[in-house]
């Protein structure tokens, strides 16, 4: 096998298209996300499409302590900036990350007020909106396109390290899709099918907005071959970046009970096994897709076991790169055949 991954120009000479450093490369400086809780809910919690939420979900396990509904967005931003300054001392500008629950699940006028409030913070240069595919429509997406195009916030500007004065904020939409298989989406009480996700992603990309998506590896009923086969469907989506997380069984969720009753329905990975499997995924993913994340981390208090131990993300990235090197492979290699 010819080891010619360098022709793709992956960042920092890596063998995959790493999202790490993307903002610095594009804007001349690091932009740190600050997680916000704006008090949203989800349509499969409030009865619109279902009750109880997704079977794997406890939202408290996925956001930091400073992000708490009831605090103003500016207070959450200020506390988030102080939190991240411990690690990222030189960071000057931030992205307001609307993460908790479904952050387009409200009337447009409320969304405008929240997004524009976050963008009024002097250190915020953009927003990242995490949501569900069934919580957007053309009117909301048209507004986001106008926001990203500088047609909404008159007089808004920020100066970044690349020396350019920006008169429009960064706007990124992230969709939780979780699986490409309708039977899986039904089983986890997701409340939408894959076609809904495909349609939402396409509508968003058609407006020139950056689109990211999220998938979970190891959902009940999915074999490893099914997960590998899903790469073809992911490749067909008009997206810029993708996040993958290994399934983690959170205490108190319906999935915890399901796992206790039917453990044979779950593909569970040891650490080295997961790294090797994810390299199999990378070989099937198109090389222009940015890999924003390939593992998830739930605080230990939310799970009954931590089978991989308390391993830092930097070490996981090192193991991934070593596996790619040892196998002399790279992102998209199998698509070249």
Residue 100 CA to residue 96 CA, distance in Å, equals 12
Domain boundaries, the chain: 5-336
Residues 177, 74, 145, 292: what is their CA dihedral angle, to the nearest 10 degrees? Answer: -40
pLDDT at 164: 80
What averages of pLDDT result for each successive group of 10 residues across the chain (337 residues)?
A: 79 94 90 94 86 80 69 93 87 94 96 98 97 97 98 94 87 98 96 97 98 98 98 98 94 94 95 97 98 88 78 92 97 89
How far is the C-alpha of 118 from the C-alpha of 152, rounded, in Å?
A: 14
User: How many C-beta atoms surround the C-beta of residue 159 within 10 A?
Assistant: 12
| pLDDT for position 62 | 59
- CA distance to 45, 210, 255, per residue, from 260 (Å): 23, 39, 8
| Integer Cα distance of 260 and 26 in angstroms | 46
Q: Output the pTM of the full model.
A: 0.94
pLDDT at site 300: 73
pLDDT of residue 298: 79
pLDDT at residue number 46: 82
Looking at residue 299, its pLDDT comes to 75
Q: Which CATH architecture has domain 5-336?
A: Alpha-Beta Barrel (3.20)
């Amino acid at each position: 096998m010819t080891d010619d991954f360098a022709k793709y120009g992956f960042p920092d000479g890596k063998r995959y298209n790493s999202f790490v450093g993307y903002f610095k490369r594009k804007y001349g400086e690091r932009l740190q996300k600050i997680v916000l809780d704006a008090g949203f809910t989800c349509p499969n919690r409030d009865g619109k499409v279902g009750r109880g939420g997704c079977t794997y979900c406890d939202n408290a396990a996925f956001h930091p302590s400073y992000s708490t509904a009831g605090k103003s967005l500016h207070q959450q931003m200020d506390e988030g900036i102080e939190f991240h300054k411990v690690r990222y001392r030189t960071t000057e500008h931030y992205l307001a990350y609307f993460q908790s629950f479904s952050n387009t699940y409200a009337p447009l006028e409320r969304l405008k007020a929240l997004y524009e409030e976050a963008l009024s913070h002097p250190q915020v240069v953009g927003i990242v909106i995490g949501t569900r595919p069934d919580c957007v429509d053309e009117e909301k997406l048209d507004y986001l396109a106008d926001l990203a195009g500088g047609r909404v916030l008159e007089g808004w500007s920020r100066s970044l390290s690349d020396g350019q004065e920006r008169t429009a904020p960064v706007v990124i939409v992230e969709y939780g899709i979780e699986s490409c298989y309708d039977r899986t989406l039904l089983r986890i009480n997701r409340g939408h099918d894959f076609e809904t996700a495909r349609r939402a992603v396409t509508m968003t990309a058609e407006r020139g907005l950056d689109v990211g998506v999220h998938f979970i590896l190891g959902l009940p009923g999915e074999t490893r071959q099914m997960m590998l086969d899903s790469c073809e469907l992911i490749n067909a989506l008009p997206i810029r970046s993708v996040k993958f997380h290994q399934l983690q069984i959170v205490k108190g969720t319906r999935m915890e009970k399901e796992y206790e009753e039917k453990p044979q329905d779950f593909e569970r990975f040891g650490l080295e096994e997961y790294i090797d499997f994810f390299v199999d995924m990378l070989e099937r993913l198109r090389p222009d897709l940015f890999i924003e994340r390939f593992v998830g981390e739930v605080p230990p208090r939310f799970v009954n076991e931590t089978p991989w131990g308390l391993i830092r993300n930097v070490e996981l990235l090192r193991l991934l790169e070593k596996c790619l090197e040892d196998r002399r492979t790279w992102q998209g290699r199998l698509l070249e055949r």
